[in-house]
Structure 1
């Protein structure tokens, strides 16, 4: 028999704020299908600091609802506001089959992104070395092309990464000036101009 398919994890949300007195938590969603992801009984792995009492544990959804257009989740074992406060900022991950296609828009597994060419203005400027996850956003770590021994951290947001083309194995970036190259030293130029002006007086 073949071995079990490889497993990976997909980030689906972050617990951002305790809500009310009964253990509810407001969610920041990283999924296009929250009603399908946060069904009663769904289990999530927690990303929390090692010092947290929740480190290494999972949580199970008891109830998910929308309150004033905000997604709110109730978790087993989180019964009051104090419990909820201890989970604020925790990131929720779900176990997935790494070989299964991602059905949500604009969602990819890390292993799918690693190795993609990074293209700017039609030119390949580097390749994805890894993906780092932080509470505020994800960062793409790009190994620069052309033999440069340098990595660039690219925020994985639509404004900077407008296109991910899995078929072509490439990712298009529109970075701000200075992200991939050093900006000219404007201060030096200003000093030179000031020096010329002073010598003329």
Structure 2
């Protein structure tokens, strides 16, 4: 069974012919948004229609932004309606990013989280993708609220997918909510 991963989010319309800006959520935008690629859609607005597909008709970079034309979006009005839509692709569970320092979310969710000393912290519940950096949402082993840890190498020095664990540096204040 394949996983579905988010590779982008539709932003503002660009021009009057249906072109939209896309916020890529992939390190391979040229591959994922190649002409002819079919992307599944997920609209998070209440009452929005269910999943559909969009077909990439063309892409270009303009002032550091990815602009995409989709066959199914013909004009500015349709582009405005598509704003905020998530773009997804099916992914074979055996597929891995080319860079060994990159991971798909589904590979990490559910892994055990430990400190550099080996003490158990909890389980990775989800990854929140922010504009500045990603955050790991860790559910502690005992009672207590989830803990957020920035997903940067200084705080997360090791990710061992085959070993089933993520190592987090226990810096003052980072995991302090777990000590209460």
TM range (shorter): 0.7 to 0.9
| C-alpha distance in 2 between matches for 1:108 and 1:30 | 11
The one-character-per-residue Cα deviations of 1:108-167 (angstroms, maximum 9, x if unpaired) are: 141x2133221334343423353265786765442323xx12351425643754542324
- For residue 95 of structure 1, report the CA deviation from its aligned partner: 0.4
Given the two structures, how large is their TM-score scaled by the length of structure 2? 0.78
Whether contact under 8 Å (1:13, 1:91) holds in the other structure is yes
Question: Could you say what secondary structure the match of 1:35 adopts?
Answer: helix
Question: How many residue pairs get matched?
Answer: 176
Structure 2 partner of 1:13:
8
- For residue 169 of structure 1, report the CA deviation from its aligned partner: 2.7
Structure 1 partner of 2:34:
39
**What value does the CA root-mean-square deviation take over the aligned residues?**
3.0
Question: Could you say what secondary structure the match of 1:92 adopts?
Answer: strand
Structure 1 residue runs without a partner (length 5+): 1-5, 185-201
Structure 2 partner of 1:144:
140
- For residue 63 of structure 1, report the CA deviation from its aligned partner: 0.8
CA 1:22–1:97: 2 relative to 1, 3 Å: same
Is the counterpart of residue 120 in structure 1 residue 99 in structure 2?
no
Is the counterpart of residue 65 in structure 1 residue 60 in structure 2?
yes
CA 1:163–1:123: 2 relative to 1, 3 Å: same
Whether contact under 8 Å (1:48, 1:54) holds in the other structure is yes
Structure 2 partner of 1:188:
none
| C-alpha distance in 2 between matches for 1:162 and 1:41 | 39
Q: Rg bigger for which structure?
A: 1
The one-character-per-residue Cα deviations of 1:66-90 (angstroms, maximum 9, x if unpaired) are: 1123211111121111111111122
Whether contact under 8 Å (1:27, 1:73) holds in the other structure is yes
Given the two structures, how large is their TM-score scaled by the length of structure 1? 0.71
Structure 2 partner of 1:87:
82
CA 1:167–1:11: 2 relative to 1, 3 Å: same
